[in-house]
Structure 1
């Protein structure tokens, strides 16, 4: 068995790894929203929402609607903006967390790990 202490985490490495993880999670997010959008579209949910929205917002119900509330372009553009914000926030927070850990580890000695061989 070996007992080790994690005294410092390199912020540059944390930034690179968190950026890679957040970009991968962005693509997972986009695929999940796409699957959900297609699933609800196949159940005719979006057309009913759009029809109800057009009925409620049009001055004359027979004149037609002012446009769809839910469309693929709108859903995926909002999803992309939220995903981009998440990339920036996740990367920044992970990097700040590395600096905070380094400061705390300098005061307390870091996290102690005990490593052992497999049986």
Structure 2
């Protein structure tokens, strides 16, 4: 990281301080660890949210009303589809989605860090100016 410091002159000496920094490299291993932990937290939140949404829908009798409606229509073929929205299957689906998201988010974040390092080597990285007033 390059650093440049400017200090104010005259009456306001010391009142303004500016530091220019450049993010020239991102450690891919650190990005992978952090993105893995954040995506695991997101996966846990996904499973909990699926449980809460299913519990709310079941509490509002959405599934039983839908089954009664399909029985009045004599749509027995569609009643069998309601087995796919039972709690154990829904929790399995949510867990599968969470695991796939953990793998994909970790891989994409790590790949993004590696690509950033390549691009930053070519153009110098992202420059950030910090000011203290």
- Normalising by structure 1, report the TM-score: 0.84
The answer (yes or no) to whether the contact 1:22–1:91 under 8 Å persists in 2 is yes
TM-score (norm 2): 0.76
In structure 1, stretches of 5+ residues that fail to align are: 59-64
Partner residue of 1:61? none
Q: If you compute each CA radius of gyration, which structure gives the higher value, 1 or 2?
A: 2
List alignment gaps of at least 5 residues for structure 2: 1-17
For the aligned residue pairs, the C-alpha RMSD in angstroms reads 1.9
Structure 1 position 50, deviation (Å): 4.2
Q: 2: CA distance between counterparts of 1:84 and 1:101?
A: 26
Contact 1:5 1:113 (8 Å CA) reproduced: yes
Alignment deviations for residues 69-105 of structure 1 (CA, whole Å, 9 cap, x no partner): 3210000000100110000000000000000000000
Q: Structure 1 residues 7 and 40 mapped into 2: Cα distance closer, same or farther (>3 Å)?
A: same
**Which one scores higher on RCO, CA 8 angstroms, separation ≥ 6?**
1
Segments of 4+ moved more than 4 angstroms: 50-55
Give the whole-Å Cα distance in 2 for the aligned partners of 1:5 and 1:72: 50
